[in-house]
Amino acid sequence: MSLSVEDIRSGEPVGIGEASDLSKGGLRVRYLPVHTNIDVGNSIGVLLMDDDIFLFVHAEVIHNSASDSYGVEFCDLTPANNKLLKRLVNRFAN
């Protein structure tokens, strides 16, 4: 699944990459351009894009061990976003 990431602090786009390990709590962001402002503890905006679902969520970087990959945890999901996220998780679990 494709995603787009922005740095919440600066409002700057980070780039387009891929999502993996999607769960109701977070995901792994992969294959983004190198962006020195993204590190553990940073708040980011993530737009998940898959066919008919476009979901924008706030997340916090919780793990950063590789130059092209980091783990994020979703923050403050609204009921509507939580419903869309469940649809995405179910879609990729099957």
**Taking phi first (over 0 means left), then psi (-120 to 50 degrees means alpha), and beta for anything else, what does residue 46 get?**
beta
Does the pLDDT at position 25 exceed 80? yes
Specify the residue for token string 């679902």: 53
Q: 88 to each of 11, 30, 52, 56, 73, how far by Cα in Å?
A: 26, 17, 10, 13, 16
**Architecture of the 2-93 domain:** Beta Barrel (2.40)
List the chain domain ranges.
2-93
Prediction pTM value: 0.88
User: Do 87 and 80 touch, CB atoms closer than 8 A?
Assistant: no
User: Do 71 and 62 touch, CB atoms closer than 8 A?
Assistant: yes
Task: Quote the percentage of the chain above a pLDDT of 90.
Answer: 57
- Taking only the tens place, the pLDDT of each residue in 61-73 is 998 876 678 899 9
**54-60 average pLDDT score:** 95
**Residue of 16 and 64 predicted with greater confidence:** 16
